[in-house]
Structure 1
Amino acid sequence: MADKEQIQTALKSVKFPGFSRDIVSFGLVREVEQNDNEVLIGIEITTADTTIPERIAADIKSAVGALEGIDEVKVRMEISQPKQQPSPAGAAGSKPNTSQAMQQVKYAIAVASGKGGVGKSTVTVNIACALQRLLEAEGKSGVGIMDCDIYGPSIPLMLGAAGRPEIENDLIVPIENFGVRTMSMGFLVDEDTPVVWRGPMIMKTIQQFAQNVNWGELEILVVDLPPGTGDAQLSLVQTIPLEGAVIVTTPQPAASNVARRGARMFDKVSVPLLGVVENMSYLEAADGSRQNLFGEGGGSETAKSLGTELLGQLPIDPNIRIGCDKGIPIVISDPDSKASQVFMEIARQILNSLVKK
């Protein structure tokens, strides 16, 4: 008799029509229920093409029905119509569940943390700038940052991006600085205005950032998530097909334990982890000796427990904070610093992981 793990494996063989990626990695599978020799598969999909759900259902029944001991396969399909008509399935460069505004984004990755105060947005900005430098050297298109930290949108300050976005052809044009395009709630509200919103309003804003922002041709869109595993995170992974997620933590158990719990949300929605970044790892003295002010081992333990890689350990460097406060990330202001070198290596590993997919 086939078990749920074998059923999941069978579902991973079902491709989204016209694409090389499977329905599990796209996050379309919402439930798998097994009752003896009967299996119920719940699918949630956004498409205007009525033939796609039919083909997916038929492929599911074929793949799962071939397993030992499975006599009947039922597919429960929840279909939503896209608000903006996407490109036809299988068209060059098109992606399922994304609007026209996202069609030219090649890879979308999330940067997340289980708790606040670990420097997630600082890491996001510097990784994005590092990725931009690497891509420029290869002559490829650029990088964008979608700031989904609705309550504390700090990306504009850290990137030195200011002003009000313009509207062209009913789409918002992101603000650009250092070659990185950015969209944030920080551009849309006054500095002293608190964002006091409930979950549905947050989800609507994230959907707007994905569907009504003209990101243009981007190699990588880096999404800065708010800490935790609430509405914003779930809305994002249901709106954008993410290629992977990077988890940010600090060395002490208070951060790393929460980071592990937060990271497991991505596993439940079939978003692979690209690795773990340990921030504020050590303070390096002039003689090269290191002090572990926040303990040690949290990043490596987190990566090991999640079955992923430790991408890098970032030093405690006042210039990282100073750079973000001035709106010039250290990767730009001091590219030869130890911290910048670590950021570049982290970006290089992320880029290599995406290219291999």
Structure 2
Amino acid sequence: MKPRLFSTLRCLQHENPLGLPRTGSIPRMQRGLPERRKIKDVKKVIAVSSAKGGVGKSTIAANLALAFARRGLRSGILDTDIFGPSIPTLLNLSDEPRLSSNNQLLPLSNYGVKSMSMGYLVGDAAPVVWRGLMVMKALQQLLHEVDWGGLDILVLDLPPGTGDTQLTITQQIVLDGAIIVSTPQDIALKDAVKGVNMFKTIKTPILGMIQNMSLFTCPHCHNSTHIFGSHSGVIQACKQHEINFLGDIPLHASICDDADRGKPTVVSEPESDRAKAFMKIAEEVGGKIGLF
């Protein structure tokens, strides 16, 4: 059995959360904002954010990455949620990443998409009991010490909130745009608007908002219900803040089931209306950032 890449002892001794050999130093943060850098061998980078948990952001991020791959792009996804990574489950991956010849992490692949996540390094049940400084160092390594091998687009699955993690990511790398995910209900929209304002403050282009779980259609009686209140909540927020509305994703049991079994909707039901909704959004986003 190959030795684990992650070692708590090495983290504490060398301030190197992922236990990676160093090939070059990451610039220390000077006074003011750090200089934004491109992720090596990646043409375009977009962030998928929600500012609130439980709205389906990770499922949407994974399906968008898969939709880009179905369009023939070299696609990848980086799970930046250190404490609650979802991408290993969504992509049905659990192996440990290996190291490349230049001592960088090699992504794991499934369904034609490359991926990296803290979940690959610490296991499903292991908690990440780290203070802020350790989290920031781990993020720097995930951002700059992964050998993607050449990608057309990398999707960043951001954790909920607008705090240290989000600022570390958005202030250290060049982002081609951000997507905000929300359900139609007011309590989710209030947090989503905080995310919008965060990206505006740090001058990151906002590609638009996605309204998730917008409509439930009963498979038995075929009546439709807006479970989370008004169906136009996100649409109205987009008009108010002068940003683009990217589309609706319905509330459907299959989307959840597909995610739980590690085969997201875009690959498990590619001809369904749900998969087509993801594909349409991916096409619009790709056009906005110059991929199509």
Q: TM-score, normalised by structure 1?
A: 0.70
Does the aligned pair in 2 maintain the 1:251–1:278 contact within 8 Å? yes
* Equivalent residue letter for 2:199: F
Question: How much identity, in percent, do the aligned residues show?
Answer: 42
Unaligned stretches of 5+ in structure 2?
1-25
**Could you tell me how far apart the structure 2 residues matched to 1:333 and 1:190 are?**
25
Of the three residues 297, 321, 334, the one matched with 2:269 is 334
Give the structure 2 partner of residue 130 of structure 1.
67
**Does residue 163 of the first structure (1) align with residue 163 of the second (2)?**
no
**Per chain length, whose mean CA-contact separation is higher, i.e. which structure has more relative contact order (CA < 8 Å, sep 6+)?**
2
Q: Which residue of 2 aligns with 1:293?
A: 227
Match in the other structure for 2:159: 226
Secondary structure (helix, strand or coil) at the match of 1:188 reads helix
Q: Is the 8 A contact 1:283 1:315 kept in 2?
A: yes
1:108-119 → structure 2 map (5 Å cutoff): 108-119=45-56
CA distance in 1, matches of 2:151, 2:291: 18
Q: Which has the larger radius of gyration?
A: 1
Give the Cα separation in 2 of the matches to 1:284 and 1:336.
Answer: 18
Residues 101-159 of structure 1: per-residue CA shift (max 9 Å, x gap): x232010000001210101101111111011111x1xxx4x111110011110111101
Between the aligned partners of 1:336 and 1:211, the Cα distance in structure 2 is 36
Q: Deviation of residue 203 (structure 1)?
A: 1.5
Secondary structure of the equivalent of 1:355? coil
191, 202, 226: which one pairs with 2:124? Answer: 191
Secondary structure at 1:327 match in 2 = coil
Aligned to 1:302: 237
Aligned 8 A contact 1:279 1:313 in 2: yes
8 Å contact from structure 2 (residues 56, 212) kept in 1: yes
In structure 2, the partner of 1:270 is 203
Provide the C-alpha distance between the structure 2 equivalents of 1:225 and 1:79, rounded to a whole number of angstroms: 20
Farther off after superposition, 281-290 or 171-180: 281-290
Aligned partner (choices 168, 174, 189) of residue 256 of structure 1: 189
The CA deviation at 1:216 is 1.6
1:50-72 C-alpha deviation (Å, 9 max, x unpaired): xxxxxxxxxxxxxxxxxxxxxxx
Q: Deviations over 1:273-327 (max 9, x none)?
A: 0010111101123565421011122211222222111111111111111111111
Measure, in 1, the Cα distance between the counterparts of 2:89 and 2:62: 10
CA distance in 2, matches of 1:199, 1:79: 18
Q: 1:193 to 1:237 in 2, by over 3 A?
A: same
Distance in 1, Cα, partners of 2:135 & 2:195: 19
Q: Which SS does the other structure have where 1:242 is aligned?
A: coil
2:250 is aligned to: 315
Corresponding residue of 2:76 = 144
Q: Is the 8 A contact 1:163 1:187 kept in 2?
A: yes
* Alignment match, 2:148: 215
Q: Distance in 2 between matches of 1:78 and 1:114?
A: 24
Change beyond 3 A, Cα 1:283–1:182? same
Q: Give the distance between the partners of 1:242 and 1:333, measured in 2 at CA.
A: 30
Letter in 2 for 1:150: I
| 1:79 positional shift | 9.1
Against the structure 1 CA distance between its residues 305 and 356, is the aligned structure 2 distance closer, same or farther, given a 3 Å change threshold?
farther
Task: Give distance in 2, aligned partners of 1:343 and 1:123.
Answer: 8
Counting matched residue pairs gives 263
The answer to whether structure 1 residue 97 and structure 2 residue 12 are counterparts is: no
Q: Secondary structure at the match of 2:122?
A: coil
Deviations 1:169-207 (A, max 9, x none): 211000010111111010010222111222222221111
- Which amino acid letter does the alignment assign opposite residue 132 of structure 1? A
- The answer to whether residue 137 in structure 2 is matched with residue 204 in structure 1 is yes
- Greater fraction of residues in strand: 1
Q: CA RMSD in A?
A: 2.2
The structure-2 alpha-carbon separation of the partners of 1:284 and 1:79, relative to structure 1 and needing over 3 Å to count, comes to: closer
